Structure 1
Amino acid sequence: MRKLLLTALVVASFSVNADVFKEAEAGLKSQLKDPESLQLRNMYESSIGVCGEFNAKNSNDGYVGFQNFHVTLPFSGKSSVSMSDDSPVTKIICKK
């Protein structure tokens, strides 16, 4: 019984995380000129959203290199996306 309960909790927490990450990915893609070029790595949940690194093609069809991002997930309404290494908000929200 304990194993079943533990397995259920792990599966439930994984599916919640997967949904949060999918929502963050959709928010990032909505900001890009070439959404299909999006590459993500080092994603993790913060206290109010998702942090990680992204890379995508620019107007010249070249990748620009990985940069930090955070997506603040909505409590109601639309999510907020910040895609900048220099953003002070990203540095505060995404402290590990």
Structure 2
Amino acid sequence: MLIRQIVLLSIACIALTSCAHRNQSDVYAQQAAARRQAEEAEKQAARESTARYVVSHKMQMSMEIQKAIEDSLRGKLKDPESARFKHYFVGETGVENVFSACGEVNAKNSYGGYVGSVPYSSEIHIESNNGKKSYYATATIADLKYVDIFFKFYPQCDGLFK
């Protein structure tokens, strides 16, 4: 009889332990699903925040805007005097006096050879002081190893380069 009680007690312990493990596994699975959902929401928010502007209207690029962009880009190059530019468009961003532009730049590297055309994105700010306009541009040049990431950050430029 004592053996029977020990066997029944052992079976009960095994059953309870098994249930506890199953419940704990369910909790872990639910926590993992919640973490994945939170991570996906965070990634979506990051994607939305990096696509800062949606270009609503493309317009012709003035010489002043081209100069502001080129000055900004030259500051990022090893041989600024060798730079060759292709400007594709400038567009309104929906933010007053802020415009977005895309194009390509090709310049010599430190070995003296041209690297090939590389996409760029630029943000142009136009300020008016006493009726005189001044242009300020910031520019980002794509790293050809990570050009797909560049287009995620600057979707207005995607599809322009072949």
- Compute the TM-score of the two structures, normalised by the length of structure 1: 0.69
User: 1:94 aligned to 2:157?
Assistant: yes
Cα distance between partner residues in 2 of 1:27 and 1:42: 14
Aligned sequence identity (%) = 27
What is aligned with 1:35?
Answer: 80
Q: 8 Å contact 2:69–2:138 — kept in the other structure?
A: no
Structure 1 partner of 2:141: 83
Report the Cα distance in structure 1 between the residues aligned to 2:126 and 2:89, rounded to whole angstroms: 18
Tell which structure's C-alpha radius of gyration is larger. 2
Q: CA RMSD in A?
A: 2.6
The answer (yes or no) to whether the contact 1:54–1:68 under 8 Å persists in 2 is: yes
Say which of 1, 18, 21 aligns to 2:66: 21
Corresponding residue to 1:58 among 102, 105, 109 = 109
Cα shift at 1:70: 1.0
Amino acid in structure 1 at the alignment position of 2:118? Q
Give SS of 1:20's match: helix
- The normalised TM-score by structure 2 is 0.43
Partners of 1:20 and 1:50 within 8 A in 2: no
Offset at residue 42 of structure 1 (A): 4.2
Q: Give unpaired runs (5+ residues) of structure 1.
A: 1-12
Distance 2:125 2:156 in 1: 15
